[in-house]
Amino acid sequence: MDVTRTNNRIVAAVTGAAAAITGAAVAVTAAPAYAGPAATPALQTLALTPSPGAVAAGTTFAAPGAARAEATAITSRVTQPFSLLGATWTDPRTRLDGTVQVRTRATADGRWSTWRTLESDGTSPAAPGSVDAGGRGSTDPVWVGDSDAVEARVTNSDGAHALPMGLRLDLINPDADLPAAAVSATGAPASAAQVGGTAFTGAGLGRAAADTTVTVPPRPAPTMVGRAGWGANEAMVTDPPEYTTDVQVLFVHHTATSNDYSCADSARIVRGIQAYHVRSNGWNDIGYNFLVDKCGTLFEGRAGGTNRPVLGAHTLGFNAHSAAIAVIGDFTNVAASLTVQRVIAQVAAYKIGMYGHLATERTPLVSSGSDRFPAGTRVFLNRVSGHRDTGRTACPGNTLYGQLPTIRNLAGAAPGAFTIAQMTGAAKVGTAFYARGPIRPLWTTTTPTALLNRFDVIVDGTVVASAPRAYRTTPLILNPGRHLVTVRAYHLSGRAVSQTRIVVVDRTAPRYAAGPVVGLRGGPLDGSVPVWLRWTATDPGGLRAVTLTRPSVVALGTTAHAWASTAAPARPTTWSLRASDRAGNARTASVTRTPLLLTERVTTRTGRWGTVTGPGYLGGSTLRSITAGSTMTWTFTGLSASLAATRSPSSGRVRVYVDGRNAGLVDLRSATTRTRMAVWARSWSASATHTVRVVVEGTARRPGVALDGLVLLR
């Protein structure tokens, strides 16, 4: 790395006398007075060097006597505004064997913060030979909010190691490089530009046809705030991005900053980290590929394309074949929220799955040299690893590190609890669905949408539709016949699960193989005429229902072929049937008939008949005979006829002839007396003229019969 180039990036440097460094007790200088906001350079530096006569930085500190082995430099300075700071030193290959602590004064109220320890992960993680190599060693930066003064103290904990040469504080103002028009009143970029996600106007109709052309939605990138959205200083990046060959592992970091920041400041924090990595560390750009704040907002990190294997500066010895995401905050004792875990999992599934790998796997990487693994060491790593897996560091914090197994499972799982919940436009019968028009399979999954890729709809082995991850249905038009409809859900990791349903498409309505027809039947003639309705409805795909819709609504089922009903005498009655199949096709058929009464008085009679009157008889009277061989004959035109008579314990039998042929013997005896009864009936397929003759048998001990007339149907 060209140090001259790095120094040219420094907009301003605060220099001046520092407090004394002693080898014994700490002498704290008075805090400077609150002076209000000052000018706004992007970088200010404050040398942590000893005063004249003190032990020089870069030498071994040794405490005299019984005092602890420590040396502390205390620097108290009024500064120009800054919001993020860190400690840096000259040689990036040198570790900080000591502790740097800082406290800052807020510009809003002049109050001083508590002391914060700057976390150091060891030597620079920049890959050897990359544009990030060289520069300076550094601690992780700390977001302190808008401040205008700082105090620092440096402790050499064991007295046996030297502090690095050129140790200084670097104070970053994340808003200094932004053009005035790009900063809103709150200090955030005016543009909230985002990258990632998928624009999709709608899934097309799927057809079960060989010539179907399906547009597969592009694999969705995680939705994130792009570099323009968080106000990246592109002029600061002097060299083009570098690339590795692929992404085998995602390393999870934390920035080791405080967690009490407002998420409204997250873009400023990212800008500050970029400025620190470039101006202070001497790297070409921000070191991380991605950053996520505690609220779950994802930020694009290093430039070069989130869909490409950009070489970063994040994990010493393992930048090649990897990417990194940093969670803004300190997760040593604080857990990352489920939202943040899902964002990390989404990035892992996206970056690792892009190359056909699962986040739940392990893979070997060869170290280019780290403080744990010498160059050339082959190390087996989880594909979602913590920074500490490759270096001597606490990063990404104990609690977040303990959450990595959950994150791996989220990133590498198949879509959870996936099912086709409904098939809109189709009716389920047994295990199959029947439809006569377009259908919409509706599917569900418990996996968050952000962790999904897409859904494919497959008909009889052919992909006919592909829907984006946010969709849960798509319309389908299928050809008539039986089909296997499969919906396959793809996780962003590449894993997939499927659900299959049988769909029968039937556009042909049921037909009536017979009927409907109406005929007379036996039963009481108490103000109505008993009739039967007969039909035979069929459908190749199966009937779903047969319903009588007139003169009343009755569900007749799918296996019955006859139904007993009644009709008003001397008035036309219409019976309507609606037969529907499993797909919803329906056909209606109707028949209209009028019952008429031909009384006993309009007949041709032979033998002896006597008149019996009473309110129980049709028309108020009936004809009765006890003489064997007496006859009563009706000639009529109609479709059906029934004989009206009285049943009683003493009634005899009559023989019925139809058109001169014996139609059977009717016994009128019953346990109780019942007048106005239809005791015999006959129907024909078409209306015609017929003759019905009734002959009295003269039955022994009960020769009497009472005939009330003949009912016919037209």
Can you say how many angstroms the Cα of residue 549 is from the centroid of all Cα atoms in its chain? 43
Neighbouring C-beta atoms of residue 339, cutoff 10 Å? 15
647 vs 671: CA distance, rounded Å: 9
Q: How far, in Å, CA of 580 to CA of 510, rounded?
A: 6
**Between the CA atoms of 227, 231, 236 and 239, what dihedral angle is there, to the nearest 10 degrees?**
10
User: Which alpha helices (H) appear in 45-150, and where do they start and end?
Assistant: none
Lowest mean pLDDT: which of 151-165, 354-368, 687-701?
Answer: 151-165
What CA–CA distance (Å, rounded) separates 62 from 161? 10
Q: Which residue has the higher pLDDT, 272 or 54?
A: 272
| pLDDT the model gives residue 224 | 97
Query: Is residue 623 within 8 Å of residue 610, measured between CB atoms?
Result: yes
Instruction: Supply angle C-alpha 373, 129, 349, rounded to 5.
Output: 65
Quote the CA–CA distance of 432 and 439 in Å, as a whole number: 13
Given a cut of 70, whether residue 609 has pLDDT beyond it is yes
Phi/psi region, residue 493 (left: phi>0; alpha: psi -120 to 50; beta: rest), is alpha
Cis-peptide into 220, omega within 30 deg: no
Burial of 179 (0-12, 13-18, 19+ CB in 10 A): exposed
Q: What would the pLDDT profile of 171-194 be if each residue is shown by its tens digit?
A: 999 998 675 444 443 344 433 334
- Residue 449 phi, psi dihedral angles, 5° rounding: -55, -35
Mean pLDDT of the chain: 86
CA distance 398 to 385: 13
3-class secondary structure, 413: coil
Give the pair of three-digit tokens for residue 546. Answer: 């047969």
Q: What is the DSSP letter of 272?
A: H
Segment 82-106 shows an average pLDDT of 92
CA gap 712, 595 in Å, rounded: 6
Give, as one character, the DSSP assignment of residue 245.
S
pLDDT of residue 213: 83
Confidence of residue 59 (pLDDT cuts 50, 70, 90): very low
Supply the DSSP symbol for 276.
I
pLDDT at 612: 94
Confidence of residue 53 (pLDDT cuts 50, 70, 90): very low
508 neighbors 499 (Cβ within 8 angstroms): no
pLDDT digits (tens, 9 = 90+) for 369-421: 998 999 999 999 999 999 999 998 999 999 999 999 999 999 999 999 999 99
CB 708 within 8 A of CB 599: yes
Q: What residues contact residue 389 under an 8 Å CB cut-off, 6+ apart?
A: 251, 381, 382
Residue 10: is its pLDDT beyond 80? Answer: no
Alpha-carbon 571 to chain mean position: 61
Query: Is it the case that residue 607 has pLDDT exceeding 80?
Result: yes
487: left (phi over 0), alpha (psi -120 to 50) or beta: beta
Q: Which of 31, 152, 18, 28 is nearest to 98 (CA)?
A: 152
| pLDDT (mean) for 557-571 | 95
Q: Please provide the size of the chain in residues.
A: 714
Per residue in 464-495, pLDDT tens? 999 999 999 999 999 999 999 999 999 999 99
Average pLDDT over residues 567-593: 96
Instruction: Kindly provide the residue ranges of all beta strands, DSSP E only, lying in 506-572, ordered along the sequence.
Output: 511-520, 523-524, 529-538, 543-550, 554-555, 562-567
Look at the pTM and tell me if it is higher than 0.85: no
Task: Over range 516-526, report the average pLDDT.
Answer: 96
What's the rounded Cα separation, in Å, for the pair 13 and 365? 41
Please determine, for residue 510, whether its predicted confidence score (pLDDT) is greater than 60.
yes
Residue 117 token pair: 């320890």
Q: Within a 10 A sphere around the Cβ of 610, how many other Cβ atoms?
A: 12
